[in-house]
């Protein structure tokens, strides 16, 4: 029996080797002059091969992409030396051609075939999962990212409103991909698509039935302070005369193969412009956002007096807030992960928690260690507006941010100025936020 198993493994490896050799031969054929003339047909065959590629064969394919489809070092060096000696347009173009990996042209030609875009997204999705263990594949990933960033430029994307009359298959994808506040069945989704709610998604012409990213909006009388009322599936819809504020309360990416490609920031701005045209009475565009990194940051007991950008006296106030919070929860930070524990903090303990969170958002956000949601909205030109204690008392909200949620304000006239501030390391914020520090 062991010998039979061994023979089966040998046969399987031989089959995988044959499949990989055939795949690589097709790739080279596609890149040849003859392949260029017949690129759609050859690319179509490649798309099908990539779709059914076993994991073991895919690993070998990635290795060959990194090794065999990279630029020739000596040719690049010769081209670089020629350009350095005579930096004219011809030498520059020749150097650019020599430095571009052959796999980029391979990906372009695959993309010409029906289903090619989806195949490359699946390829990058698989590649991203391997980078930590196989860092030599980063150059391949960088090439895919470069091309996908161009092909999924927001200028090519279509924004569509999703409502209860949308195809059931699309609605099922919304339920499956909602990443911030889980959809609790069809009744919950129906409530999120009532007249006082909006859901918009980006689509690509090559993937017309696949939402890439979607945003959910609540039309409400005032800036919301808690998520529960917004996603209460039993709540009655509000009449249009109460639509004063558009609150973005969830944004979800549907395609892991597009990780890092900027889509959400363009979607929010386009939705705001669409709503402004549809509902001129809207005066405020804001978010009700989670703070997913706060609890973890606080648990690490950061050196508060060493935070970047501290103003005079803030270091002492932060250390005092840390001590007050420790005292309020009896030194047991786990109490902050329950509604009862938050209730027991008292006013001083809650004030300390807000002070520490404001420091996290205002001082840490411009750094690479900043909260990912904060960095997204602040870099997108939003203003840090208000902290909301007990804004999310779900298990996830308590674990991530001790129940806190935050409003970011999108002032459509000051988005660029706020973005520039953030790029310079400063967070645009309200007076209410400044008062917490």
Residues acting as catalytic residues: 289, 377
Query: What CA–CA distances, in Å, run from 382 to 18, 219, 374, 377, 408?
Result: 54, 19, 9, 5, 6
4: Cβ–Cβ under 8 A, 6 or more apart, which residues?
Answer: none
d(CA 278, CA 112): 38
If we measure between CA atoms, which residue out of 386, 427, 214, 222 comes closest to residue 289? Answer: 386
Output phi, psi for 370, to 5 deg: -70, 160
d(CA 409, CA 286): 4
242: Cβ–Cβ under 8 A, 6 or more apart, which residues?
Answer: 196, 219, 220, 221
CB 174 within 8 A of CB 211: yes
Output phi, psi for 218, to 5 deg: -110, 130
d(CA 178, CA 188): 12
Characterize the bridge pairing of strands 284-287 and 245-253.
parallel
d(CA 49, CA 29): 14
């Amino acid at each position: 029996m062991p010998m039979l198993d061994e023979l089966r493994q040998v046969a399987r490896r031989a089959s995988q080797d044959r499949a990989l050799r055939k795949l690589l031969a097709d790739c080279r054929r596609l890149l040849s002059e003859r392949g260029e003339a017949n690129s759609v047909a050859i690319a179509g065959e490649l798309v099908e091969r990539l779709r059914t590629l076993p994991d073991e064969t895919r690993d070998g394919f990635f290795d060959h992409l990194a090794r065999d489809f990279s630029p020739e070092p000596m040719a690049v060096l010769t081209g670089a030396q020629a350009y350095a000696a005579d930096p004219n347009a011809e030498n520059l173009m020749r150097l650019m051609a020599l430095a571009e990996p052959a796999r980029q042209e391979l990906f372009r030609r695959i993309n010409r075939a029906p289903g090619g875009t989806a195949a490359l997204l699946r390829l990058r999705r698989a590649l991203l999962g391997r980078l930590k263990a196989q860092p030599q594949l980063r150059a391949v990933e960088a090439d895919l990212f470069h091309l996908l960033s161009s092909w999924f430029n927001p200028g090519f994307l279509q924004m569509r409103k999703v409502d209860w009359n949308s195809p059931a298959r699309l609605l099922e994808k919304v339920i499956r991909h909602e990443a911030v506040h889980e959809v609790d069945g069809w009744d919950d989704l129906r409530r999120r698509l009532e007249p006082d709610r909006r859901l918009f998604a980006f689509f690509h012409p090559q993937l017309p039935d696949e939402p890439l990213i979607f945003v959910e909006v609540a039309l409400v009388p005032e800036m919301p302070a808690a998520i529960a009322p917004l996603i209460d599936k039993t709540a009655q819809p509000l009449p249009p005369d109460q639509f004063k504020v558009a609150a973005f309360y969830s944004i979800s990416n549907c395609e892991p193969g597009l990780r890092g490609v900027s889509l959400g920031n363009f979607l929010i701005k386009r939705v705001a412009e669409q709503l402004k045209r549809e509902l001129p009475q809207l005066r405020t565009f804001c978010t009700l956002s989670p703070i997913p990194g706060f609890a973890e940051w606080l648990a690490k007991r950061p050196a508060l007096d060493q935070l970047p950008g501290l103003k005079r006296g803030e270091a002492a106030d932060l250390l005092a807030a840390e001590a007050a919070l420790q005292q309020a929860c009896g030194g047991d930070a786990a109490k902050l992960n329950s509604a009862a524990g938050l209730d027991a903090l008292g006013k001083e303990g809650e004030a300390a928690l807000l002070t520490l969170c404001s420091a996290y958002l205002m001082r840490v956000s411009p750094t690479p260690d900043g909260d990912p949601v904060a960095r997204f909205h602040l870099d997108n030109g939003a203003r840090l507006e208000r902290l909301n204690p007990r804004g999310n008392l779900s298990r996830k909200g308590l674990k991530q941010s001790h129940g806190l949620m935050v409003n970011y304000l999108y002032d459509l006239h000051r988005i660029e100025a706020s973005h520039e501030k953030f790029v310079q390391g400063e967070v645009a914020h309200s007076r209410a936020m400044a008062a917490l520090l």
